Structure 1
Amino acid sequence: MTEEVFAAGTVCWTRDARADGSEQVLVLVIHRPKRRDISFPKGKLEPGESLPQAAVRETREETGLKVRLDQHLGTIRYDLSGNRRKTVQYWAVQVPRKRALEAAFQPNGEVDAIEWVPIDEVRGRLTYSADQELFDVFLKLAEHDHLDSFSVTLLRHGKALPRAQSGEPDHLRPLTDFGKAQAAALVPILDAFGPRRIYTSTAVRCVETVRPFAERRRKPARLTDAISQDSWDAGELAGLRELIAAIVSRGKNVLLCSHRPVLPDLARELALATGGRIGAYLEEATTLPTAGFSVFHLSRRHPEAGILSVETYPLKH
């Protein structure tokens, strides 16, 4: 039986000014002395770690850069010795130029050098064809001016007490102990995507789900009836539409915690607000178990381009 080895990495990029005053995109590559190759930051998962967490951690360990993930670029698979197969997932990551210059890189046994390379020179520098093919996805984003992106994360609340057991009105039902454990487990995974604002339904089960993450990021959770199930049940969707429109116009990473019936409408309004395609993929991305979430990526420079990509994470325990 083939042993699966999972790893995660990033394609980091930044913008810099040329001598003539125009902008250019620079991409980070690393040199690994043991393998004598040029590649992108990546590494294997630690026990209990998710792929997004591993991508962020490995990038920091290998380059000194503290990053948050942008668009998912794809997956590379290749065979290893000893009947093993490696699967590596990659994300694009925008790095502000100042941070790129100030990265506290220290040469080590894994990586002895990093270099910011002009985008049109990167493919020819990469050692492996699999990395080149992955980079082609990145190049296509650059070609359409979609590298600058932001994300909208739609999260379903954690496991709550059943109505019959809680004895409270629906919106006052708290999380179970299992639901509280789910909320705690979500923190490092959500943190990998760096939400700047947190919106939650006013229902107790939603508020309790985002509380550990809000405390970790030291950001207030913004309570709103616009994405509550009570408002949805009453057919009151105007507030939901207004919130999504404001999020799209702002162009910053956000997290919204809501309810199973409300999530498909949130995704649909997100597509409508950006000129995106309405289709079954929206329903698939919002049919989530408790504490599951989907990350929708949109173009910051061209929000009218619609939803660029979606990645879904049904929380595992």
Structure 2
Amino acid sequence: MSVVPGKPPPVLAAGALAWREKGERIQVLLVHRPRYDDWSIPKGKLEKGETFPAAAVREVAEETGYRVRLHRPLPASVYLLPDGRTKIVQYWTGTVRAKVAPGPKDAGEIDKVRWVALDEAEDLVARQGDLVPLAALRRFLEAGELQTVPIIVQRHGAAVSRAKWRKGEGTRPLNSKGKKQAKALPPLLDAFDPATVVSSPWERCLSTVEPLAKIEGLKVRTKDELTEAGHKDHPSRTAAVMDRVLREARPTVVCTHRPVLPTLIEAVRAVALPGAALELPREDPYLAAGEALLLHATPGGTVVAVERHLPNIG
């Protein structure tokens, strides 16, 4: 995030509005802050070197004892602090992966954690910055777009240049920056709880996703259609790989190369809502080396939201 010269850097924070079905009602997870005597969405400041998604997951765990997986983004909250700095809070919807602690890490900061019905939450919460995400969650619910699955199109990390590599393209490796990106990807993408990793079998793609797959306990499935050569020979087969991933609607990482990206993105555009389609990249290079394109799809395979993230390598 860029900093305006002469102005103090913004305060960055992240959180998640976790939800669950209870009978025929939707409940959301709120925390009580004794310092302000108010109910709020779990959130907190980013730590050094942390991405927004990783911070959101960590903060929810620290404040509630629940480890969540992130789903579609919610409207951010941007406001001025008394000292003149701008505070930016990024939010996502979330669902619980596991209970990791009996309660809040710091009882002086958070003294109560409650699942409450959505209607009650809208009455309990007083801050406008929390009411906006709640209203967005209600809109998603009423539109039938609350339940989503993350599908991640991942461009491989920065690689040794073609001009400097004398061997085959399939063996061209990551450079030092790309290796750092691969190492930094797991805490970013783990926030979305991927269940499957599909990749080009070429070295620079495999090296990008293998650290993530190892941490998640997943096997990397390779597809020749995701290589540059496979795409050049049979672009329709490459598009079919993306079509299948979207139809299956499982949390999936798809790692590929820059020349392959436009074909994958056009396959996504065909099943995206108009607003989401506008957020899809349209110009070369489509994604920076190491960048992830997050697609949030309904169980039926319709893409309803799009976001982009780079691993933080300092």
Q: Name the residue aligned to 1:184.
A: 183
Q: Name the residue aligned to 2:4.
A: none
Cα RMSD (Å): 2.0
Distance 1:175 1:62 in 2: 38
The amino acid that maps onto 1:187 is P
The amino acid that maps onto 2:63 is E
Give the C-alpha shift of residue 299 in structure 1: 1.1
Q: Name the residue aligned to 1:238.
A: 236
Give the C-alpha shift of residue 228 in structure 1: 1.1
Relative to structure 1, the CA distance from residue 73 to residue 279 in structure 2 (aligned partners, 3 Å threshold; closer, same or farther) is closer
Give the C-alpha shift of residue 185 in structure 1: 1.3
The amino acid that maps onto 2:113 is I
Q: Name the residue aligned to 1:220.
A: 219
Q: Name the residue aligned to 2:63.
A: 62
3-state secondary structure, aligned to 1:262: helix
The amino acid that maps onto 1:218 is G
- 1:203 is the counterpart of 2:209: no
Relative to structure 1, the CA distance from residue 232 to residue 299 in structure 2 (aligned partners, 3 Å threshold; closer, same or farther) is same
Residue by residue over 1:9-28, the C-alpha shift from the partner in whole angstroms, topping out at 9 and shown as x without a partner, is: 010000112xxxxx211111
CA contact (8 A) 2:33 2:111 kept: yes
The amino acid that maps onto 1:215 is K
3-state secondary structure, aligned to 2:63: helix
CA contact (8 A) 2:49 2:312 kept: no
Gaps of 5+ in 1: 18-22
Q: Name the residue aligned to 2:294.
A: 295
Q: Name the residue aligned to 1:28.
A: 29
Q: Name the residue aligned to 1:108.
A: 107
Matches within 5 A, 1:68-147: 68-95=69-96, 104-106=102-104, 108-147=107-146
Relative to structure 1, the CA distance from residue 265 to residue 118 in structure 2 (aligned partners, 3 Å threshold; closer, same or farther) is same
Distance 1:11 1:284 in 2: 31
Relative to structure 1, the CA distance from residue 205 to residue 104 in structure 2 (aligned partners, 3 Å threshold; closer, same or farther) is same
3-state secondary structure, aligned to 2:137: helix
3-state secondary structure, aligned to 2:192: coil
3-state secondary structure, aligned to 2:174: coil
Residue by residue over 1:148-192, the C-alpha shift from the partner in whole angstroms, topping out at 9 and shown as x without a partner, is: 100110111111112232211112111112211111011211111
- In the superposition, the TM-score normalised over structure 2's length comes to 0.91
- 1:310 is the counterpart of 2:309: no
Q: Name the residue aligned to 2:41.
A: 40
The amino acid that maps onto 2:103 is F
CA contact (8 A) 2:269 2:277 kept: no
Distance 1:208 1:255 in 2: 14
| Number of residue equivalences | 304
3-state secondary structure, aligned to 1:108: coil
Distance 1:231 1:171 in 2: 11
The amino acid that maps onto 2:304 is L
Residue by residue over 1:47-87, the C-alpha shift from the partner in whole angstroms, topping out at 9 and shown as x without a partner, is: 11111110000000000111111000021012212222211
Distance 2:120 2:278 in 1: 39
CA contact (8 A) 2:184 2:312 kept: no
Q: Name the residue aligned to 1:9.
A: 15
Residue by residue over 1:207-247, the C-alpha shift from the partner in whole angstroms, topping out at 9 and shown as x without a partner, is: 1111111111111111111211111122x133323322332
Q: Name the residue aligned to 2:279.
A: 281
Q: Name the residue aligned to 2:269.
A: 271
3-state secondary structure, aligned to 1:117: strand
Greater shift, 259-268 or 46-55, is seen at 259-268
Distance 2:164 2:79 in 1: 50
Gaps of 5+ in 2: 1-6
CA contact (8 A) 2:46 2:52 kept: yes
CA contact (8 A) 1:31 1:114 kept: yes
Q: Name the residue aligned to 2:253.
A: 255
- In the superposition, the TM-score normalised over structure 1's length comes to 0.90
Give the C-alpha shift of residue 280 in structure 1: 5.5
Distance 1:210 1:129 in 2: 39
